[in-house]
Structure 1
Amino acid sequence: MPPLPHVTHLLSEAPDTCDAAVVLTYDERLLRRKRLETLDGDGFMIDLPHLTNLDEYWGVALDDGRKIAIRPAEEAVLVITGDLPRLAWHIGNRHTPCEIGTETLVIREDHVLEAMLKGLGAGISRAQRPFTPEKGAYGTGRTMGHAHAPSHGHGPHHDHEHGHSHG
């Protein structure tokens, strides 16, 4: 069996031609090293120097010359309507990735957050669609889920000093 082609570099912009595509969920688009497979069933290896959010790139270039697009997979999401600024504040307070539109907010399906948002008067509908939430506060990176370790940037006295619990 011949060795798998490897990614030589990430592509920021679409090239003139696209040879194939890979479809990945939001979680799968954050990676460092993994064997991926195109929609055509061709495998290739991605081995990056550090954990990378592939949402920041159009795709990848392989050592065999092919250009592979990265596309978001459809996922189970909640489409939220209502008092968007207030609801966005509560979602953000839980460090939850969120797509922010002019008329809706979109988060991944989560029964606990769904119950909280309904309690706040939100309208909620379920959908199956690509999930591409806002990037980090500085235009790169990711908003991580609510469960986090002290390395998240919060000191040991975070709950007391900021009056908010992460329990």
Structure 2
Amino acid sequence: MIIEEIQGNINSSDLKAPHIERVFMKSDDLLKRVLRVKTDHGNEMGIRLKKKKELKDGDILYQDEKNMIIITTIKDDVLTITPDSLQQMGEIAHQIGNRHTPAQFEENSMIVQYDYLLENLLGELGVSFKREKRQMKEAFRHIGHSHE
């Protein structure tokens, strides 16, 4: 089976199916348009999206009256950073930006993929953070940039 378009998202609809199969994916794979995946029931399928669209947690790959196949993202190893002040946020954002580390923001927290060097830096600077496994709603996106 080749999936060429997303049928919707289970998180934004009232759709229910008596039988749900899941495709577990790393958040990095959500950025890919062409993939070969296997469901938790062992069924293999290809994903080849016609439109340039990023996959998201909960996307419905297939659906009929009895079955639904959805994407479930695997938890990422991340650092959740919670600065104590706006100045501290600016300083750590500057440091992270210099490293070209992609970040996501939720409420008063900055979330980055785990990096032991960044963990050491945060400790040295006295910035509040915790390392955790977290299911991200979107993939960490690297922004192309060069220092020319």
**TM-score, normalised to structure 2's length?**
0.71
- 1:111 is aligned, of 116, 121, 124, to 116
The answer on whether the counterparts of 2:57 and 2:71 sit within 8 Å (CA) in structure 1 is no
**Aligned twin of 1:85:** 89
Secondary structure of the structure 1 residue equivalent to 2:27: coil
Secondary structure of the structure 2 residue equivalent to 1:144: coil
With over 3 angstroms needed to count, the CA separation of the structure-2 counterparts of 1:115 and 1:23, relative to structure 1, is same
TM-aligned CA deviation for residue 73 of structure 1: 0.6
The answer on whether the counterparts of 1:76 and 1:109 sit within 8 Å (CA) in structure 2 is yes
Q: Where do 4+ consecutive residues of structure 1 move more than 4 Å?
A: 49-52
TM-aligned CA deviation for residue 95 of structure 1: 3.1
Distance, in Å, in 2 between the alignment partners of 1:93 and 1:57 is 33
* 1:69-103 superposed Cα distances (whole Å, 9 cap, x missing partner): 11211121112222463233433443322231223
**Aligned twin of 2:16:** 17
With over 3 angstroms needed to count, the CA separation of the structure-2 counterparts of 1:12 and 1:88, relative to structure 1, is farther
Distance, in Å, in 1 between the alignment partners of 2:39 and 2:79 is 28
**Aligned twin of 1:163:** none
**Aligned twin of 1:94:** 99
Q: Which structure has the higher relative contact order (CA within 8 Å, separation 6+)?
A: 2
Residue 123 (structure 1) aligned with residue 119 (structure 2): no
Please list every run of 5 or more consecutive structure 2 residues that lacks an aligned counterpart in the other structure: none
Q: What is the identity, as a one-letter code, of the residue corresponding to 2:89?
A: P
Q: What is the identity, as a one-letter code, of the residue corresponding to 2:73?
A: P
The answer on whether the counterparts of 1:24 and 1:71 sit within 8 Å (CA) in structure 2 is yes
Backbone CA RMSD of aligned residues: 3.1
Q: What is the identity, as a one-letter code, of the residue corresponding to 1:116?
A: L
The answer on whether the counterparts of 1:12 and 1:56 sit within 8 Å (CA) in structure 2 is no
Q: What is the identity, as a one-letter code, of the residue corresponding to 1:40?
A: H
Please list every run of 5 or more consecutive structure 1 residues that lacks an aligned counterpart in the other structure: 136-141, 146-151, 160-167
Distance, in Å, in 1 between the alignment partners of 2:145 and 2:96 is 19
Which range is displaced more, 41-50 or 67-76?
Answer: 41-50
Secondary structure of the structure 2 residue equivalent to 1:131: coil
Which range is displaced more, 49-58 or 27-36?
Answer: 49-58
The answer on whether the counterparts of 1:96 and 1:143 sit within 8 Å (CA) in structure 2 is no
The answer on whether the counterparts of 1:77 and 1:109 sit within 8 Å (CA) in structure 2 is yes
* Percent identity of paired positions between Structure 1 and Structure 2: 25
Q: What is the identity, as a one-letter code, of the residue corresponding to 1:100?
A: F
Secondary structure of the structure 1 residue equivalent to 2:130: strand
Q: What is the identity, as a one-letter code, of the residue corresponding to 2:142?
A: M
